[in-house]
Amino acid sequence: MAVLEDTGRGRFLIAPFSRFTEPATPGEWLTGCAAPGLAVLCLWNVDFMEELRLGRAWTIGRLIAAQLQRALRVRASIGCERPLPGRLAREVGPPLVHLLDPRREYLREERALWRGESAGGRPDAPDERPPLLLAYPQTGERAESLPKAAETRAAYQARPGRRGGSIRPAAGT
């Protein structure tokens, strides 16, 4: 999660990062971070977190002032008719137009997950368990023995893309 604002009342406005590396909606913004887990910030899915609970979170970095300003501009644009300016418009996802767009189900699922993870389902829920942030292999398991989601990297080669590379099948495969 990213902390967007200190409300001054012991509560902070926070937003989750996406599990995906491309923004799905206009409320998702490319942060410019290379790490897949930090590549897209879901500004449509903000929530508040109490200072005590936030104080137990792991800090892995900070948004620089320019990133925070861009994130807040995207957040302010949600639901507005005015499009974002130039470069910022290219850093967010495409609009949702059709009522049956499958991204709407993604938004419902993510909102439910985030509400459950960020506040135990209630805004002032006591901290009964730590938030689920990372999953580590079981003791004794090696990364090589875990199931893979795709073929080995050798079957692919880099292709210049919007953020410096994506994958595509190598010639002859």
Residue 1 in this model has a pLDDT that exceeds 50: yes
pTM: 0.65
Residue 24 in this model has a pLDDT that exceeds 90: yes
According to the model, what pLDDT value does residue 65 have? 92
Task: Provide the CATH number for the domain formed by 2-122 in this structure.
Answer: 2.30.30
What is the arithmetic mean of pLDDT over 55-82?
89
According to the model, what pLDDT value does residue 4 have? 94
Q: For residue 111, what is the enclosing H or E element?
A: helix 103-119
Give the start-to-end residue ranges of the domains of the chain: 2-122
According to the model, what pLDDT value does residue 144 have? 55
Residue 168 and residue 165: Cα distance in Å, rounded?
A: 10
According to the model, what pLDDT value does residue 91 have? 94
pLDDT above 70 coverage of the chain, percent? 67
Amino acid at position 30, single letter:
L
Residue 80 and residue 32: Cα distance in Å, rounded?
A: 24
Higher pLDDT, 156 or 74: 74
Reported for 100-107, long-range contacts at CB under 8 A and 24+ positions apart, including other chains, are: 103/24, 103/25, 106/24, 107/25, 107/44, 107/45
Residue 123 in this model has a pLDDT that exceeds 60: no
